[in-house]
Amino acid sequence: MRFLHLGDLHLGKSLGDFDLIGDQKYILDQMLAVIRERTVDAVLIAGDVYDKAIPSEAATNLLDYFLCRLAETGVKTFLISGNHDSDDRLNYGSRLFQDNQIFISSVFRGELEKYTVEDEQGEVDVYLLPFVKASQVRHYFPDAKIDSYDDAVRVIIEHAHLDRQKRNVIVAHQFVAGRSEDPVLAGSESIGTQSVGLVEKISYDCFDPFDYVALGHIHSPQKVGREEVRYAGSPLKYSLSEVNHIKSVPLVTLGEKGKVSVELIPLSPMRDLRHIKGSIRELLDKKHVQSPEDFIYATLTDEEIIGDAMGIFQQVYPNTVKIDYDNSHTREIEQVDLSHIVENKSFSELISDFYQLMYQCEISEEEMDYMKMAAREAGVIHETE
């Protein structure tokens, strides 16, 4: 039996000011081609289907398109929610979807949902575990000792009463780590995961009863602990931290019990995401310009700030996402010990000092007003400041 393992689609996501719906449809069509060409039996989608809890109309239309194409191929689709998804929105119409072999688990209701599929080797039990927090699991198992996400997942699996003689697959969306090291993080998930410390971390040996573990939540494709516990990773590069990733989808073949093989099928985006560095003259020299339609993060090494650098860059690279600087001024800022600088200084004084250090000139009153307005909206300062 062959499974295609997908995760972290983040439909509706943008890159800076650029809409990625066209890029996402392009990569989904590649996956559909793989499904047809490699005779895939089932698709596992491991959460973060949408980028936002309230997805855009374009994002919901794209998911509708993808699910309809999957149904047309005749494959079974198993889909769970991630921490970015809205349980209710993702679950809408799920009973109707089952008629087209699309099985959705968007919220944990006290037990692992299980579906059984068959091939010439016999039955395969597919378990669906949407993103859960320890507090949700305590509600269903008040007598169990649940102090962490790891405890919570172990309790869920213990109460699932798996038949270990059968082939078992689970789709989950959690932060799963090895015994001695954490998975390689990237994008928004790296910030969120690092902020919660050890409480959210789940050891991969929680999933020992399963022949294959299809994970979502981390954007970097990788195995965790053993080959059969794996993050598919996001299908596109969604942040600068992913610029060196080689995006792929795992094609998982289940033979008889205990025989699992994983083939990583590379994905080719419509537009790549690249990071380029140098002076503006060097980077925009015709002999150095390549693939101008790619998304570009540019780091300028010029000592002086370039006026309207973004406008200049976008004449050559129209999809430039961000420009920053790496020069003597920025390196000086990085080395500054801020602990004594910020003492007894007002917001205005701090902003003025930073502006002077960065641009070697005074900030204007209009610019300062904009900074204060943004700070008030963010709750950094109060209305009277």
CATH number at residue 66: 3.60.21.10
Structural domain includes residue 258: yes
Same domain, yes or no, for 48 and 120?
Answer: yes
Asked if residue 70 lies in contact with residue 77, where contact means CB atoms within 8 angstroms, the answer is yes
Do 242 and 283 fall into the same domain?
no
Domain boundary among 246, 266, 286: 266
DSSP, res 271:
S
Residues 23 and 271: beta-carbon distance below 8 Å:
yes
384 is a domain residue: no
Range of the domain at 323: 273-377
E strands, 83-179, are 102-105, 113-119, 122-129, 167-173, 175-177
Q: Which of 13, 30, 28, 9 is nearest to 321 (CA)?
A: 13
Structure tokens at 232: 């598919």
Residue-level pLDDT at 177:
84
Q: Are residues 93 and 213 in the same domain?
A: yes
User: Rounded distance, CA 270 to CA 275, Å?
Assistant: 17
What is the number of domains present in the chain? 2
Beta bridge partners, 144, equal none
Domain end (from 219, 235, 266): 266
Statement to judge: residues 221 and 351 lie in one domain = no
d(CA 304, CA 325): 10
Domain boundary among 213, 233, 266: 266
Please indicate, yes or no, whether residues 227 and 292 belong to a single structural domain of this protein.
no
| Of residues 351, 318, 47, the one with CA closest to residue 189 | 47
Residues 232 and 289 in one domain: no
| Domain shared by 319 and 352, yes or no | yes
| 261 in any annotated domain | yes
Do 219 and 295 fall into the same domain?
no
Same domain for 252 and 128: yes
The pTM (predicted TM-score) of the whole model is 0.80
Q: Do 79 and 195 belong to one domain?
A: yes
Two tokens, residue 12: 């509706």
Q: Mark whether 239 and 281 lie in a shared domain.
A: no
Check if the beta carbon of residue 70 is closer than 8 Å to that of residue 205.
no
User: How confident is the prediction along the chain (385 residues), in pLDDT tens digits per residue?
Assistant: 999 999 999 999 999 889 999 999 999 999 999 999 999 999 999 989 998 888 899 999 999 999 999 999 999 999 998 887 766 666 666 667 788 899 999 889 999 999 999 999 899 999 999 998 888 899 999 999 988 889 999 999 999 989 999 999 999 999 888 765 556 655 555 444 443 344 578 899 999 999 999 999 899 899 998 999 999 999 999 998 899 889 999 999 999 998 999 999 999 999 999 999 999 999 999 998 999 999 999 999 998 888 899 999 999 999 999 999 988 877 776 666 656 656 677 888 888 887 777 666 788 888 888 788 877 766 667 655 5
- In a domain, residue 382? The reply is no
Residue 373 CB neighbour total at 10 angstroms = 11
- The answer on 130 and 35 residing in a single domain is yes
Beta bridge partners of 277: 299
